[in-house]
């Protein structure tokens, strides 16, 4: 009589406790994955059109910009054409608006810059960026003479096409050097522009150099008047025959 074959070892079921412990880890991993999802997905074709239009291009600052630390990213600098108090790039734990760090200096109109790269917020790009930075926005990385650190022009999160990106960049950068127009101003006017301030009598182009391009212009050609407004209505200016006569700035 042949001996019976040895019984095969039975595989023990996984302890339920292990499964319970794995569930929170899986949930955390899914949450981290969701956090790396861009708010606006830009199609590949639009990214390529944007890069073809801007990457590697030599430009000049159209307006005076302030230079700040890029929030928690000390390796980069943030360029702003608007006052820091009007900027909405980063939110806190209670969804409050976080102001950028104090300005380090003002770069004048006509400063030459080179567009190194337009960087859209894909999942991998967001994960690579510093958490305390506007990492869900498209970034235009600029090279500024005399400073090896990358300078960042942050575009709105709603930027979804090449036309959107180019329009936003052209609010701050231009292919034509505005230095001759800045040099043609009086000493008082030029000093005001370099402080990003206004003085009575500034020509229209100098108002834009100092305060950035307005969001709206209401022009009455027969009367020769213009009413300009910047985003959120916190800054307004009135011109007569192309010269600044009055302005308001909300605290």
* pTM > 0.95: no
Burial (CB count <10 Å: 0-12, 13-18, 19+), residue 204: middle
Q: pLDDT tens track of the chain, all 251 residues?
A: 555 555 555 555 555 554 455 555 444 433 444 444 556 678 999 999 999 999 999 999 999 999 999 999 999 999 999 999 999 999 999 999 999 999 999 999 999 999 999 999 999 999 999 999 999 999 999 999 999 999 999 999 999 999 999 999 999 999 999 999 999 999 999 999 999 999 999 999 999 999 999 999 999 999 999 999 999 889 999 999 999 999 999 87
Nearest to 186 by CA among 175, 200, 174, 196: 200
* β-bridge partners, 79: 67
pLDDT of residue 11: 52
Cα 201 to chain centroid distance, Å, stands at: 31
pLDDT of residue 153: 98
CB environment 83-122: b (16+ within 10 A), e (fewer)? beebbebbeeeeeeeebbeebeeebbbbbebebbebbbbe
Tokens of 127: 């994960």
pLDDT of residue 29: 39
Residue 228, phi then psi, degrees to nearest 5: -110, 145
H or E segment at 32?
helix 16-35
């Amino acid at each position: 009589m042949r001996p019976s074959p040895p019984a095969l070892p039975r595989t023990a079921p996984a302890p339920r406790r292990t499964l319970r412990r794995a569930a929170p880890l899986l949930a955390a991993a899914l949450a981290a994955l969701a956090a790396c999802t861009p708010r606006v997905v830009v199609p590949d074709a639009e990214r390529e059109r944007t890069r073809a239009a801007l990457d590697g291009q030599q430009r000049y600052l159209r307006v005076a910009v302030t230079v700040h630390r890029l929030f928690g990213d000390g390796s980069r600098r943030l360029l702003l054409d608007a006052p820091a108090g009007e900027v909405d790039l980063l939110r806190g734990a209670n969804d409050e608006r976080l102001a950028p760090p104090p300005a380090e200096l003002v770069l004048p109109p006509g400063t030459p810059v080179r567009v190194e790269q337009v960087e859209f917020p894909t999942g991998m790009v967001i994960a690579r960026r510093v958490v305390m930075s506007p990492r869900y926005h498209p970034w235009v990385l600029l090279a500024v003479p005399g400073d090896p650190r990358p300078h960042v022009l942050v575009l709105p999160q709603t930027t979804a096409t090449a036309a959107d990106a180019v329009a936003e960049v052209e609010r701050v950068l231009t292919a034509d050097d505005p230095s001759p127009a800045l040099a043609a101003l009086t000493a008082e006017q030029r000093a005001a522009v370099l402080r990003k301030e206004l003085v009575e009598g500034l020509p229209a182009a100098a108002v834009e150099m100092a305060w950035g391009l307005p969001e709206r212009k209401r022009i009455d050609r027969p009367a020769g008047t213009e009413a300009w407004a910047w985003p959120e209505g916190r800054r307004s200016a009135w011109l007569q025959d192309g010269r600044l006569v009055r302005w308001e700035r909300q605290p």
